[in-house]
Amino acid sequence: MARGIPSEVIHHFQRVPLFESVSKKGIREIVSAATEVDLPAGTPLVSQGEHGRELYVILRGTADVKVDGRKVSELTPGDFFGELAFLHPAPRSATVTARTDMRVMVLDSRAMDVIVEREPVVAKRLMEAMAKRIRATEGR
């Protein structure tokens, strides 16, 4: 156990691609700052056009991503979304809906600001993911 957080929880979060290079201290901060939420299938997590600054990391289950009502991708455990809204406050660019029962980790913008400042590798991974998603959108 690492400072009150079971070692299996630390290892679980280190297997999430966004956090795999984060120090154990950083993982402890992420776990402490996050809220884990269980959602039933069919639940909308975010809606296109709404405002929000949270970042979501999928721990269990799958979700569909739709833009203008058209499915553009599927998200699975380890995937994350909301990085655009976290990095720049603007309306959500897609709707994400739970396809199956899910467990997600939610990080609000204040928690993410601290994490990104202390763990620059997280900022790098967020930017890489954002660039890939923008390129994929341009290819449509």
- Domains for the chain: give ranges and CATH numbers: 7-138 (2.60.120.10)
pLDDT in tens, 33-55: 888 899 999 999 999 999 888 88
Residue 2 has pLDDT above 60, yes or no: no
Q: Map 22-88 to HEC letters.
A: CCHHHHHHHHHHCEEEEECCCCEEECCCCCCCCEEEEEECCEEEEECCEEEEEECCCCEECHHHHHC
Contacts of 65 (CB under 8 A, 6+ apart): 71, 72, 73, 74, 75, 81, 94, 95, 96
pLDDT cut 90: percent of the chain above it: 30
Kindly tell me if the per-residue pLDDT of 82 is higher than 80. yes
- CA–CA gap between residue 57 and residue 105 (Å, rounded): 5
Phi, psi angles (nearest 5°) of residue 66: -125, 140
- For 88-121, how does the pLDDT look when each residue is reduced to its tens digit (9 = 90+)? 778 888 999 999 999 998 888 777 777 778 878 8
Prediction pTM value? 0.78
